[in-house]
Amino acid sequence: MTSKVDTKTLNRRRFLKGSAVAAGTAAVGTVAMPHVSRAQTKTLKVQAAWGGGIFLDNAKSYVERVHAMAGDSLKIDLLPVNSVVKTSQMQDAVHRGVLDGAHYVPAYWYSKSKTASLFGTGPCFGWSSQEVLGWVYYGGGQELFDELMGSLGLNVVSFFNSPMPAQPLGWFKEEIKDASQMKGLKYRTVGLAADVLLEMGMSVVQLPGGEIQPAMKSGLIDAAEFNNPTSDRDFGMQDVSKHYHLASFHQSQEFFEVTFNKKMYEGLPKELQAILKYASEAENSNFYWHNTKRYAEDLGKLRNDQGVNVYRTPDSVMAEQLKAWDKVVDRLSGEDAFFAKVVESQKKYAKEVMGYMNLNQPDYQLAYKHYFG
C-alpha cells in the first residue's frame, strides 16, 4: 500500500534525478560545443629592399618561418623594393608606422649614424659574420644597437640574421695585382666601406644594386662590388667585365636587419613577439646552408660557362685595406664617443673568441688541397 508520503518522496526523487540528468546534459553540451572567440589575424606590412633574386628569397624564407610558427595569428605581407617608399626611406617609414617592418641591411641607412655600419659592415677584427652575430647576441651588441636607436629617437626594434660570407672585391677592367691600380677608379660600394676605399684613393659612388651594371656599362663607374656571385650573375656583371676578384676586407662581414615599428611590436602578444624574434634566429642557419651552395654553383657558371676570370684578391691589397680601416676607425672614434664604445666592445669579443677559434680550427685549405688539388 502506498501512502501520500511515499508518493511525495517518489516524486521528489524523480525531480532530483531529472534535474541531475539535465545538468549533466548541459555540461556535456558545453564541452562538446564550446563558445570560442577567435581573434582576428594580425597582418604586418613589411617592405624588403630587394626586387627579386636570392635576397628576396631570403626575406621570404624568414616570413615562411613566422607563418609556420604563428599559424592564423600573424601574417606578414612582404612587399618588394619601392612598393611603398624608396629604400633610403624605409627606416623612417617604419619609425612613423607607414610600414610595420622592413628587411634590409644597416648600411642602407648609415647616413643617420656611421656607428650603424659597425653592425654588419664594420672593420674586420679577424672575425667573420658568424662571430659578429655572436657578439650581437652574446657580447652586448644588441644592447648597444638598442642604445643607438634610443639616441637617434627611432621608434623601431630590430633583429639580425643571415651571416654572409665575405663580399668579393668585385669587378674590374683588368686583374688587380697591386693596390696602386685601384687609385682614381670610380667604384661602387656602400656603408663604411666607402670611407675605407676613399682612404685608398678611389672615387666612390653609392648606387642601389639594380643600377650597378648599367652604370659600369655606361662608364659612370670603372669597377664595382655588390655582395656575392649569385646576385652579381643575376645583375649581368659578366656582360660588362671579365675580371672578378674574390676576398676582401672592405665588407668582410654583413647580415640582414629585420626591423619593426616598436610601438606596434610591443602591442603584440608576448608569444607573437617571440616568434618574430626567434624566426630571425632560425633563418640564420638556413641562409648560410642555402646561400653558400648557390654562390658556389653560380661562381662555377661565371667561370666555366661565361668566361669570367676569377682571382683571389692579393694579400698585399687586403693589407692596404686594413691600414685604411685603421685610419677610418681612429678618425671616427675621435669624432664620436659612442662609435668608439662599440668598437671597443667588438674588439674585446673578437680577441677572446677568435683567440680560441684560431688555435682550435685546423687549416681547412690544407685538407681541401689534399683531396682536390
Catalogue all structural domains in the chain, each as residue range(s) with its CATH number.
42-163+254-292 (3.40.190.170), 170-252+296-334 (3.40.190.10)
Q: Is the pLDDT of residue 12 over 90?
A: no
Mean pLDDT value across residues 342-362: 98
Mean pLDDT value across residues 218-247: 96
Q: Is the pLDDT of residue 31 over 50?
A: no
Q: 120 falls in which pLDDT band (50, 70, 90)?
A: confident
Cell of 289: 646552408
Mean pLDDT value across residues 297-301: 98
Read off the pLDDT of residues 1-10 as tens digits, 9 standing for 90 and up.
444 444 444 4
Q: Which residues contact 39 (CB under 8 A, 6 or more apart)?
A: 73
Quote the mean pLDDT of the chain. Answer: 90
**DSSP notation for 219-285:** TS-SEE--S-HHHHHHHTGGGT-SEEEE--STT--EEEEEEEEHHHHHTS-HHHHHHHHHHHHHHHH
- Let me know: does 144 contact 363? Beta carbons within 8 Å: no
pLDDT of the residue at 208: 82
pLDDT of the residue at 32: 42
Q: Return d(Cα 86, Cα 301) in angstroms, integer.
A: 32
Q: Return d(Cα 72, Cα 10) in angstroms, integer.
A: 55
Measure CA 250 to chain center: 18
For 314, phi and psi rounded to 5 degrees? Answer: -60, 145
Mean pLDDT value across residues 16-31: 39
Q: Which one-letter DSSP state was computed for residue 71? A: T
Q: Return d(Cα 294, Cα 304) in angstroms, integer.
A: 15
- Let me know: does 120 contact 160? Beta carbons within 8 Å: yes
74-79 and 243-246 as β-strands: parallel, antiparallel, unpaired? unpaired
Cell of 122: 664594420
Read off the pLDDT of residues 36-65 as tens digits, 9 standing for 90 and up.
334 689 999 999 999 999 999 999 999 999
Q: 77 falls in which pLDDT band (50, 70, 90)?
A: very high
Q: Is the pLDDT of residue 89 over 90?
A: yes
Q: Is the pLDDT of residue 366 over 90?
A: yes
pLDDT of the residue at 294: 98
Q: Which residues contact 270 (CB under 8 A, 6 or more apart)?
A: none
Give the H/E segment covering residue 33: none
pLDDT of the residue at 39: 61
Read off the pLDDT of residues 146-165 as tens digits, 9 standing for 90 and up.
999 999 999 999 999 999 99
pTM (2 decimals)?
Answer: 0.86
Q: Is the pLDDT of residue 18 over 70?
A: no
Q: 24 falls in which pLDDT band (50, 70, 90)?
A: very low
Q: Is the pLDDT of residue 29 over 50?
A: no
Read off the pLDDT of residues 160-219 as tens digits, 9 standing for 90 and up.
999 999 999 999 999 999 999 999 999 999 889 999 999 999 999 988 888 999 999 999
Q: How many CA atoms within 13 Å lie on the side-chain side of 123?
A: 27
Q: Is the dihedral of CA 329, 331, 335, 337 positive or negative?
A: positive
